[in-house]
């Protein structure tokens, strides 16, 4: 497992629809509905640009998307941002790419005037590593909502203050 990403890219390309769909599916963490939503956000951004409310950061290696984040300012907030998606291809996991992608996303949010970045994930056992990733990255647990996604599946909300 290596961090093979050689470039980060902020602009969305038409080919990113399939790249995101494939990447999110290949992680094995997301349902078919969630895979479709991830791709739909790319389509929305291609159609509406900044007006979509979504920004993307793609990690590429050899011209292939190996990771990405999708984030945006929380509607009606001047300083809070949501991290909607962050995913790294399984072949690249464990080598630090996720952390580099997260830090680069945080830097972009900070540069845009963001004071806090929020991330949400599932309470299922499968997501223990995801929760540990946020915690090791300095995110504090901002809330846990029992039975949010389904009975026995809580929603964990994490927050990183960007002004510290």
Q: Is residue 27 part of a domain?
A: yes
Is residue 80 situated within a structural domain?
Answer: yes
Can you give the pTM of this predicted structure?
0.93
- What residue has token string 């599946």? 153
Of residues 86, 121, 87, the one with CA closest to residue 106: 86
Dump pLDDT digits (tens) for 68-88: 999 999 999 999 999 999 999
Considering the domain boundaries, does residue 90 fall inside one? yes
Is the separation of the CB atoms in 75 and 111 below 8 Å?
no
Does residue 125 form part of some domain?
Answer: no
Judge whether 18 lies within some domain. yes
Q: pLDDT (tens digit, 9 = 90+) per residue, 51-71?
A: 999 999 999 998 899 999 999
Residue linked to tokens 């929305």: 44
| Number of compact structural domains in the chain | 1
Tell whether 142 is covered by a domain: no
Q: What is the CATH number of the domain that holds 33?
A: 3.40.630.30
Q: What is the pLDDT of residues 105-163, one digit of tens each?
A: 999 999 999 999 999 999 999 999 999 999 999 999 999 999 999 999 999 999 999 99
Domain span at residue 70 reads 7-117
pLDDT category at 5 given cuts 50, 70, 90 is low
Indicate the pairing of strand 80-88 with strand 116-122.
Answer: parallel
Instruction: Evaluate whether 122 touches 149 at the Cβ level (below 8 Å).
Output: yes
Flag whether 133 is in a domain: no
């Amino acid at each position: 497992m290596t961090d093979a990403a050689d470039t980060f890219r902020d602009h969305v390309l038409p080919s990113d629809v399939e790249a995101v769909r494939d990447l999110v599916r290949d992680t094995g963490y997301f349902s078919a509905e969630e895979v479709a939503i991830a791709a739909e956000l790319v389509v929305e951004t291609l159609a509406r640009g900044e007006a979509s409310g979504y920004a993307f950061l793609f990690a590429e290696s050899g011209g292939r998307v190996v990771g990405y984040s999708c984030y945006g300012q929380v509607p009606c907030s001047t300083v809070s941002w949501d991290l909607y998606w962050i995913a790294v291809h399984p072949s690249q996991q464990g080598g630090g790419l996720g952390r580099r992608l997260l830090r680069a996303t945080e830097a972009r949010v900070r540069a845009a005037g963001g004071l806090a970045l929020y991330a949400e994930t599932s309470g299922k056992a499968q997501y223990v590593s995801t929760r540990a990733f946020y915690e090791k990255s300095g995110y504090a647990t901002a809330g846990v909502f029992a039975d949010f996604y389904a009975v026995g599946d809580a929603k964990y909300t994490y927050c990183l203050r960007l002004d510290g």
